Amino acid sequence: MPVLHTPGGTTPRHVSLVAIPDAAVSTLFGVFDVLSAFGSMGLSPAGGAPFRVEIVGEASGSLSLASGVAVDVQRAVDTIPATDIVIVPSVLVGPDGWVKHRYPRIVGWLREMYDRGAVLGSACSGIFLLAETGAFDGRDATVHFNYARMFSAAYPAVSIHPERTLVISGTREELVSSGASSTWHDMALHFIARYAGATAAHDVARTFALQWHSDGLTPYMVFEGRTDHGDADIARAQAWVAEHFPVADAVDGMVRQSTLAERTFKRRFTAATGLAPIAYVQRLRVEDAKRRLERTDASVDEISWRVGYEDPAFFRRLFKRTTGLAPGAYRRRFRIPDYARVRASRA
């Protein structure tokens, strides 16, 4: 099994950063800059720079990415017989989903590198391309939460966890996936800590002001009830509760809107949406509370009452169980800070 680094770690590990026309420029260049920072920013540990990063693709030369920005592909994959780490950056996925089998040379090379011992990494939606290799079948992975349902439909053999920041799986921990958007920071820092040590990872994090997303991605996820189920009675109830979720008897109101027997309604609602009616109402209430915490100065007790809970203590427990953060912590995390707000000029 060919490897490019020596057992002592004095030879840098070769990182192949895959560029395809669907790739997002921010992630590709961001990963490149962070993993290449050791030489350019004087951060190299005693053993020297831990990585040698190359942008690779189907052919060398200029390639226009999804945003129209061009990148210089340094090497064609056909000329790379071995590599240590392969990273696929986030890719643009259209509303119709990921179109498979467009990059057979890339996918074949990815599978060959994996079979030869390379670690495979994906940032955000880059897992769509890596999943074509079959390496993730039967394994855990993560993806941007907006793409989770689409990914599961395309690759049902992969166990997807969109709420998780970073997932490391495989018998050799050789499959690494990061979740939504800027969690590529966590993946890059993971590789630095893994191959260069914790001190190097801390140095890079401080230099670039990177932060670990240690709370996971649940606080960032926006709840949208599933409506593609085709059950007209349930859809009618969903439309009603979207406007009336704060009322005390929201579940009873949904039952009345559906004109179904209560037991039948609850069974069909759960089958259609994936949530029991009361859990669905709770998710709507918490989602509205999140917006109020982000955009108003209302107290947590007042918000609790406005979204339908007379017991603020129960609301606080529910909010934290749902989002992973207490209401006050959520407000501090997501509200625009004072220093970033536009201030009216004074005459």
Same domain? For 203 and 316 the reply is: no
173 dihedral zone (left: phi>0; alpha: psi -120 to 50; beta): left
Q: Which of 220, 249, 272 is the last residue of a domain?
A: 220
Q: Tell me how many degrees the CA angle 145-293-224 measures, rounded to the nearest 5.
A: 30
Dig out the tokens for 112 from the structure. 């060959």
Number of domains within the chain: 2
- Measuring CA to CA, which residue among 73, 79, 84 is closest to residue 113? 84
Does 345 fall in a domain?
Answer: no
Same domain? For 191 and 238 the reply is: no
Q: Which of 220, 240, 270 is the last residue of a domain?
A: 220
Same domain? For 185 and 270 the reply is: no
- Measuring CA to CA, which residue among 186, 184, 201, 190 is closest to residue 29? 184
Inter-residue contact 134 to 111 (CB < 8 Å) = yes
Same domain? For 116 and 57 the reply is: yes
Does 318 fall in a domain?
Answer: yes
Is a pLDDT exceeding 90 seen at residue 328? yes
Mean pLDDT of 273-301: 97
Unique residue bearing structure tokens 């966590």: 186
Q: DSSP secondary structure string, 310-337?
A: S-HHHHHHHHHHHHSS-HHHHHHHHSPP
- Measuring CA to CA, which residue among 191, 69, 54 is closest to residue 122? 191
Quote the CA–CA distance of 110 and 133 in Å, as a whole number.
7
Inter-residue contact 4 to 86 (CB < 8 Å) = no
Q: What pLDDT, on a 0 to 100 scale, did the predictor assign at position 8?
A: 42
Quote the CA–CA distance of 230 and 249 in Å, as a whole number.
25
Q: What pLDDT, on a 0 to 100 scale, did the predictor assign at position 296?
A: 95
Mean pLDDT of 315-340: 94
Confidence grade of residue 31 (pLDDT, cut at 50, 70, 90):
very high
Element housing 291 (H / E): helix 277-295
| Structural Rg of the chain based on CA atoms | 24
Inter-residue contact 4 to 13 (CB < 8 Å) = yes
Quote the CA–CA distance of 94 and 18 in Å, as a whole number.
19
129-146 pLDDT, tens digit each = 999 999 999 999 999 999
Is a pLDDT exceeding 50 seen at residue 6? no
Q: What pLDDT, on a 0 to 100 scale, did the predictor assign at position 38?
A: 86
Same domain? For 198 and 268 the reply is: no
Is a pLDDT exceeding 80 seen at residue 173? yes
Inter-residue contact 288 to 307 (CB < 8 Å) = yes
Handedness of CA 59, 60, 62, 67 (dihedral sign): positive
Unique residue bearing structure tokens 């011992």: 117
Range of the domain at 266: 232-334
| CATH code at position 319 | 1.10.10.60
Helices and strands counted in the chain (H then E)? 14, 11
Q: What pLDDT, on a 0 to 100 scale, did the predictor assign at position 3?
A: 42
E strand spans, the chain: 13-18, 51-57, 61-64, 70-73, 75-76, 85-88, 119-123, 140-141, 159-160, 166-169, 175-178
**Is residue 141 classed as helix, strand or coil in its secondary structure?**
strand
Q: What pLDDT, on a 0 to 100 scale, did the predictor assign at position 44?
A: 61
Does 344 fall in a domain?
Answer: no
Same domain? For 264 and 197 the reply is: no
Is a pLDDT exceeding 90 seen at residue 14? yes
Same domain? For 268 and 294 the reply is: yes
Does 313 fall in a domain?
Answer: yes
Does 1 fall in a domain?
Answer: no
Does 4 fall in a domain?
Answer: no
Does 339 fall in a domain?
Answer: no
Handedness of CA 29, 30, 36, 40 (dihedral sign): positive
With a CB cutoff of 8 Å and minimum separation 6, the contacts of 227 are 235, 238
Same domain? For 96 and 170 the reply is: yes
Is a pLDDT exceeding 80 seen at residue 346? no
Is a pLDDT exceeding 60 seen at residue 264? yes
Confidence grade of residue 18 (pLDDT, cut at 50, 70, 90):
very high
Does 310 fall in a domain?
Answer: yes
Quote the CA–CA distance of 30 and 8 in Å, as a whole number.
28
Same domain? For 146 and 254 the reply is: no
182-194 pLDDT, tens digit each = 999 999 999 999 9
Q: What pLDDT, on a 0 to 100 scale, did the predictor assign at position 181?
A: 87
| Mean pLDDT, all residues of the chain | 92
Inter-residue contact 31 to 89 (CB < 8 Å) = yes
Confidence grade of residue 248 (pLDDT, cut at 50, 70, 90):
very high
Compare 345 and 134 and report the one with higher pLDDT.
Answer: 134
Same domain? For 195 and 243 the reply is: no
42-53 pLDDT, tens digit each = 666 656 789 999
Q: Which of 220, 246, 276 is the last residue of a domain?
A: 220
- Measuring CA to CA, which residue among 171, 76, 166, 79 is closest to residue 127? 166
| CATH code at position 38 | 3.40.50.880
Is a pLDDT exceeding 70 seen at residue 97? yes
Same domain? For 328 and 294 the reply is: yes
Same domain? For 174 and 304 the reply is: no
